[in-house]
Structure 1
Amino acid sequence: MAEVTLLETRGLTRRFGGLTAVDAVDFRLSRGEVRAIIGPNGAGKSTFVGLLSGLIAPGAGSIAFDGQDITRMPAHRRVRAGIAYTFQITNIYPAMTVLENAAIAAQSRLGTGSEAAIEAAARAALAAVGLSDLETRRAGDLAYGHQRLVEVAMGLALAPKLLILDEPTQGLSDAEIANFIAVIRRVAASATVLLIEHNMDVVMALAGRITVMENGRILAEGTPDQITRDPAVQAAYLGGAS
Structure 2
Amino acid sequence: MAEVILLKTRGLKRHFGGLKAVDGVDFTLRKGEIRAIIGPNGAGKSTFVSLLSGRIPPSEGTVEFDGQDVTALPAHRRVRLGIAYTFQITNIYPSMSVLENVAVAAQSRLRPSFLRKGASETEIEDAARAALAAVGLDDRLDEVAGVLAYGHQRLLEVAMGLALEPKLLILDEPTQGLSDSEIANFIEVVKRVAQSSTVLLIEHNMHVVMSLADRITVLERGRLLAEGSPAEIMNDKAVQAAYLGEPA
**What is the alpha-carbon distance in structure 2 between the residues aligned to residue 98 and residue 77 of structure 1?**
25
Following TM superposition, by how much is the alpha carbon of 1:241 offset from its aligned partner in structure 2, in angstroms? Answer: 6.8
Alignment of 1:159-238 (within 5 A): 159-238=165-244
**What is the alpha-carbon distance in structure 2 between the residues aligned to residue 89 and residue 241 of structure 1?**
26
Structure 1 counterpart of 2:99 = 99
Structure 2 counterpart of 1:75 = 75
Structure 2 counterpart of 1:126 = 132
**What is the alpha-carbon distance in structure 1 between the residues aligned to residue 13 and residue 123 of structure 2?**
40
**What is the alpha-carbon distance in structure 2 between the residues aligned to residue 182 and residue 110 of structure 1?**
27
**What is the alpha-carbon distance in structure 1 between the residues aligned to residue 69 and residue 150 of structure 2?**
37
Which of 144, 157, 161 is the equivalent residue of 1:155? 161
**What is the alpha-carbon distance in structure 2 between the residues aligned to residue 73 and residue 108 of structure 1?**
18
Following TM superposition, by how much is the alpha carbon of 1:123 offset from its aligned partner in structure 2, in angstroms? Answer: 0.4
Alignment of 1:21-100 (within 5 A): 21-100=21-100
Moved over 6 A (4+): none
> 1:49 is matched by which residue type in structure 2?
V
**What is the alpha-carbon distance in structure 2 between the residues aligned to residue 230 and residue 107 of structure 1?**
45
Which of 134, 147, 158 is the equivalent residue of 1:141? 147
Following TM superposition, by how much is the alpha carbon of 1:113 offset from its aligned partner in structure 2, in angstroms? Answer: 3.7
- SS of equivalent to 1:133: coil
1:14-60 superposed Cα distances (whole Å, 9 cap, x missing partner): 00000010001000000001000000000000000000000010010
TM-score by length of 2: 0.96
Cα gap change, 1:218 to 1:241, in 2 (>3 Å): farther
> 2:36 is matched by which residue type in structure 1?
A
1:176-208 superposed Cα distances (whole Å, 9 cap, x missing partner): 000000000000000000000000000000000
**What is the alpha-carbon distance in structure 2 between the residues aligned to residue 158 and residue 172 of structure 1?**
24
Structure 1 gaps of 5+ residues are none
> 1:79 is matched by which residue type in structure 2?
V
Identity %: 74
1:89-132 superposed Cα distances (whole Å, 9 cap, x missing partner): 00000100000000000001011541111101100000000000
Matched, 1:240 2:232: no
**What is the alpha-carbon distance in structure 1 between the residues aligned to residue 247 and residue 238 of structure 2?**
11
- SS of equivalent to 1:193: strand
**What is the alpha-carbon distance in structure 2 between the residues aligned to residue 114 and residue 29 of structure 1?**
35
**What is the alpha-carbon distance in structure 1 between the residues aligned to residue 42 and residue 88 of structure 2?**
14
- SS of equivalent to 2:130: helix
**What is the alpha-carbon distance in structure 1 between the residues aligned to residue 78 and residue 163 of structure 2?**
15
**What is the alpha-carbon distance in structure 2 between the residues aligned to residue 190 and residue 203 of structure 1?**
19
Structure 1 counterpart of 2:114 = none
**What is the alpha-carbon distance in structure 2 between the residues aligned to residue 145 and residue 205 of structure 1?**
19
Structure 1 counterpart of 2:17 = 17
Partners of 1:102 and 1:122 within 8 A in 2: yes
Structure 2 gaps of 5+ residues are 112-117
- SS of equivalent to 1:164: strand
Partners of 1:235 and 1:241 within 8 A in 2: no
Partners of 1:35 and 1:209 within 8 A in 2: yes
**What is the alpha-carbon distance in structure 2 between the residues aligned to residue 37 and residue 113 of structure 1?**
36
User: What root-mean-square deviation, in Å, do the aligned CA atoms of Structure 1 and Structure 2 show?
Assistant: 0.9
